[in-house]
Structure 1
Amino acid sequence: MSSLEQLYQQVILDHSRERHGAGAVPSGIGAASHQVNPTCGDQVTLGVSVADGRIADLVWDGDGCSISQASLSMLSDLVDGRSTDEVARLYADMDQMMHSRGRGVPEETLDGLGDAAALEGTSQFPNRIKCALLGWYALRDALAKLGTDIAGGARS
C-alpha cells in the first residue's frame, strides 16, 4: 500500500470515529430525510436548514460501515455555511468522483472535495459507492423538500 493510500485510509478511519455533525436530528429543523442502503443496511437520517441561501444547520444520525459514516462526517464539514450553489457543485463533484470507477477525476475536483477526496478509491467497488453517497442522497432529498435542487445533471 502506498503512503498516499495509507493516508487516505487513515482519514476515512478518523472521520468514521469522530463523526463531525453527528447528533440527534431535532424535530424543528427545516427538512429531514431518512435513507437506507438496502445492499448493506447502512442508514442515515439527515436534517438541514437553509437561511439566506446558505446551509444554516446540518445534523445527522446514522449507523453503518466506516465509509458511510466517514462520508457523512466529511459532508458535514464540506457544506457547513456554504451557499446552496456551492453545495450543488460539491454534490456534482462527489457524484462524478464516485462514478469514475477508479479512472480518476481532475485534480481541482479532488482539491475542492477536501477530505472527501480520500473516498476516490471507493469508486472502484460498485457495492461501496452507495455507502459513500448515502449521506449525499439524504442531503439532496432534504434540500429538495425545502425547494432546492442540488442534483442538476448529476446521476442518482
Structure 2
Amino acid sequence: MTNSLEQLYQQIILDHARARHGAGLQEHRGEGVVGESHQLNPVCGDEITLRAVVRNGGVHSVSWEGAGCAISMASASVLTDLSVGLPRDEVIELVDNFRDVMRSRGRLEADEEVLGDAAAFSGVSRYPARVKCAMLAWVALEESLLAANH
C-alpha cells in the first residue's frame, strides 16, 4: 500500500473515531424487528452494545454505544454508514467480506467498491491483536441481525 493511501486510511479512521456515526443507543419506536448484541474484547477492554432494526428485509437503523480504542470506535461508525439502507442479506455478506480481510494478515486487500470506508482497516489485518478491535462492532452487527431474523 502506498504511503499516501495509508495516510488517507489513517485519516478516515481518525475522523470516524471522533465523529462516531450511529453512536448513542436509540430506542426503537415503530415498525420492524430489533436485534441487539453486546460484545466485549477482554484482551483490551473494548466494549460495544449494538442495536439494529430490520424492516422489510432491510437494515432500517443501527445505533450503538461503546468504549474502546480509536480502531474499534471508528469501525462501529463506518459499519453504521455502510449498513443502513441495505438489504439484511447484503449486510451479512459485507460482514463476511470484512472478516475475510481482517483474517488475511495483510494478504487480502480490501475492495473499496465493496467495503467503502471499511477498506481503511485493511492495514489492521497485519496486527492480530488489533483485528479483534476492528471486528468487535461487526460481530455485534452480525449477531443483532441474526437475532432480528428470529
Q: TM-score, normalised by structure 1?
A: 0.88
Counterpart position of 2:137:
135
Counterpart position of 1:68:
72
In structure 2, C-alpha distance between the alignment counterparts of 1:102 and 1:42, rounded to whole Å: 23
Counterpart position of 2:90:
86
Q: What residue ranges of structure 2 are gaps of 5+ in the alignment?
A: none
1:146 has 2:148 as partner? yes
**1:141 to partner: Cα distance:** 1.1
In structure 2, C-alpha distance between the alignment counterparts of 1:56 and 1:102, rounded to whole Å: 33
Alignment of 1:16-27 (within 5 A): 16-26=17-27
Q: TM-score, normalised by structure 2?
A: 0.91
Alignment of 1:1-150 (within 5 A): 2-26=3-27, 30-105=34-109, 109-147=111-149
Per the alignment, do residues 27 and 82 of structure 1 end up closer, same or farther by CA in structure 2, a change over 3 Å counting? closer
Deviations along 1:4-35, whole A, 9 cap, x unmatched? 11111111000000001111342667121110
In structure 2, C-alpha distance between the alignment counterparts of 1:40 and 1:67, rounded to whole Å: 12
In structure 2, C-alpha distance between the alignment counterparts of 1:57 and 1:119, rounded to whole Å: 23
Larger CA deviation: 127-136 vs 96-105: 96-105
Alignment RMSD, CA only? 1.7
| Partner AA of 1:66 in structure 2 | A
Stretches (4+) displaced over 3 A: none
**1:111 to partner: Cα distance:** 2.1
Across the two proteins, how many residue pairs are aligned to each other?
A: 146
